[in-house]
Structure 1
Amino acid sequence: MANRSGNVKRLLVVGGGLIGIRHVHAVKQNPNCTLVGLADPDTSIEIDAKRFASMDDVNEEVDGVIIATPTHLHATHGVSAASRGWHMLIEKPVAESLEEAETLKNAVSNAGIHTLVGHHRRYHQTLQRLKSHIEQGAIGKLVNVSLIWAMRKPDSYFEGNWRTSGGSPVMINLVHDIDVLRFAIGEISEVVALRGASVRGANRIESGAVAIAFDNGATGTISFADTTPSPWGFEAGIGENPNIGTTHQDMMWITGTEGAISFPSLNLWNGRDWGTAAQKEQLPKPVQKRTPLEAQLDHFLEVIDGAPPLIDVSDAARTLAVATTIEAALKEQVTHIQARA
């Protein structure tokens, strides 16, 4: 249990957007912590909590801070929190750039701050069970993995805002799948990316394919698009996002020298060679007693007390490095695609 000392942790939430408000509610419902308040300059946010215009205005004792501001502010707010001695849970991606992530990493290290990064999918019991099966050799030595994330975002998602040209699904969506692969499959050593043609007509990354090499010798592919309706994607398969229709369809398939397994169904396929049909076994699926966000908060309270974090700033920076490498490779292909049009 969190708060092994018996003290109720005092938490501040910074950022009153959709995810920030979810954090506020989670803190208020958790008996092991209390909400100091919400720091956000937008006074129109209606919520039953003490309000601060910024972290600088907070003059109360704080044990930990949850930073849920826009990505480009993560490093600045994280450095400020570290200077005040506040342990932090910072939303993902950990920073906008690798340089900012390095600055944040140095700040928390110098201040002796405990950190946790909000890659909340790591708290899905089904994903943890997949990781366990792989580590226990259920499919032998890993050979390859295929992952699909394909959704059609509504046109309104891009109207009248920064997403019209800069709303790449790599940094908004694919960064989460990259972290899933790092968590369940292994460290990524190399990526090669190809960009798909534009469907909406904007100068924006919409779709593509990524080839991946892992440190353990396995290879993989990611196919992604935010322009096509499909049943395949982590959110649709797991049913974690109320804004995305749940299909319970698999979206990741992993093969090894002794079998294969699909996710999130946890269907295990055993076989010997192509002369014999592989046999399917339904592995038991764990019960998700706490939502990932609730489980993450429980863990953050433990991290404040000194428990090892499931993913800290340094770990999350490696996920960011892969995502930014893919993003840069796809951006370089803009002129080539336009020239062939």
Structure 2
Amino acid sequence: MKQILVVGGGLIGVRHLEAVKAHPECSLVGLADPNMSLEIDGPRFASMSEVDCAVDGVIIATPTHLHAAHGMEAAARGWPMLIEKPVAGNLEQARELAKVLQDRKIASLVGHHRRYHRVVQQLKSCLASGQIGDVVTVQVIWAMRKPDTYFQGNWRTQDGSPVMINLVHDIDILRFAIGEIVQTTALRGRSQRGAARVETGVIALGFETGAVGTLAFSDVTPSPWGFEAGTGENPNIGATHQDMMWITGTKGALSFPSMTLWQGEDWGQAATKISASAEKNVKAPLDAQLDHFVRVIDGAEPMIDVADATKTLEVAVRLEAELAGQSGVSSV
């Protein structure tokens, strides 16, 4: 049994608590959170420093700006860690934490849980096996209308750009399935809510493999296209089960998440639709992630560690800065 400590008692922290308690190979050490009024079925600590019992691994589910500090504290105690995403509040913190973990040989995993969707792993396997040849282009759409209340009376009023909240997930999937993103160009759209924050934009991407792509996004338009809508991942977002990613290659093409596959030769003959079906999750991605964390504690290769997650953060931070520096599209 792995003795697991959860740090942070917010919404995601509570989900981790429940997952640990339900896992047959885990035992909950307790919850560390300064709000001692939070009641759980288990021991409570105000901070990690109060924990005086054996810990095999720690799950850090605190606010993003605290991730690095809490990761450093856990590293000082030699604890393998699962850190929620984004991995840190800024690149400097992420890189510093990655170096400390590497120097001390402490295992880490970062909660980019979408990598644990069976259909995402199927996508990566399909591309790696060459079923559509070499990837040439990829197009992604994430377009939803967030309710006005989502932005009222909180930090999102000024800093609620979809880039760090939503697109960081799509960026990570693209890195996971296609390869490293080495070039970006972004164009910001006009604000519809009269807000200073970024709402809409289009991003051009260049991959290390030579593939290129686009990512169009908006949080002001109701549409059927987006990872959450396509997969039904989030119960708070209506599921449409429509594709939101289209990939072309030298031998064919596919759309995701339906995993509809097309193959062909040239334009003289119509591409042929190949019978295929999307793999379904055997268990919730968060639970599959905990399964993997248990193995990482025992020395298995992490799906995505702090150093790897820093690369995802780097792309997202660069795009955020580029979009924030624009005033939005205006008529000429």
**TM-score normalised according to structure 1 size:** 0.95
One-letter code of the match for 2:118?
Answer: Q
Could you tell me how far apart the structure 2 residues matched to 1:108 and 1:273 are? 50
Helix, strand or coil at the partner of 1:288: coil
**Alignment match, 2:12:** 19
Shift of 1:148: 0.5
Report Cα offsets for 1:222-254 as digits up to 9, x if no partner: 001111111111111111111111111000000
CA displacement at 1:327 relative to structure 2: 0.4
Q: Distance in 1 between matches of 2:52 and 2:36?
A: 19
Q: 2:44 aligns with which of 24, 35, 51?
A: 51
Provide the C-alpha distance between the structure 2 equivalents of 1:66 and 1:99, rounded to a whole number of angstroms: 22
Tell me the residue number matched to 1:266.
259
1:149-205 deviation per Cα after TM superposition (whole angstroms, max 9, x unaligned): 111111111000110010111001100000000001111110000111111111101
Give the paired residue count.
Answer: 332
Distance 1:101 1:61 in 2: 27
1:37 aligns with 2:22: no
Aligned position for 1:160: 153
Q: Secondary structure at the match of 1:201?
A: coil
Q: Which residue type is aligned with residue 20 of structure 2?
A: V
Structure 1 contact 83–111 (Cα < 8 Å) conserved: no
Paired amino acid for 1:225: S
Q: Which amino acid aligns with 2:181?
A: I
Q: Which amino acid aligns with 2:298?
A: D
Aligned to 1:248: 241
State whether structure 2 residue 94 is matched by structure 1 residue 101.
yes
CA contact (8 A) 2:260 2:277 kept: no
Match of 1:144 in 2: 137
Deviation at 1:255, TM superposition (A): 0.1
SS at the partner of 1:286?
A: coil
Is the contact between residue 266 and residue 282 of structure 1 (CA under 8 Å) also seen in structure 2?
Answer: no
1:291 to 1:263, Cα distance in 2 relative to 1, 3 A? same
Residues 215/43 of structure 1: CA separation in 2 closer, same or farther (3 Å cut) = same
- What is the CA RMSD across the aligned residues, in angstroms? 1.4
Q: What letter corresponds to residue 124 of structure 2 in structure 1?
A: K
Within 5 Å, give how 1:93-132 maps onto structure 2: 93-132=86-125
Aligned residue number for residue 211 of structure 1: 204
Match in the other structure for 2:195:
202
Structure 2 residue aligned with 1:230 = 223
How many Å separate the matches in 1 of 2:300 and 2:265?
43
Q: 1:175 aligns with which of 168, 176, 184?
A: 168
5+ unaligned residues in a row in structure 2: which ranges? none
> Could you report, residue by residue, the CA deviation over 1:8-45 in whole angstroms, capped at 9, with x for unpaired residues?
10000011111111100000000101000111122343
The answer to whether residue 165 in structure 2 is matched with residue 191 in structure 1 is: no
Distance of 2:149 and 2:37 partners within structure 1: 23
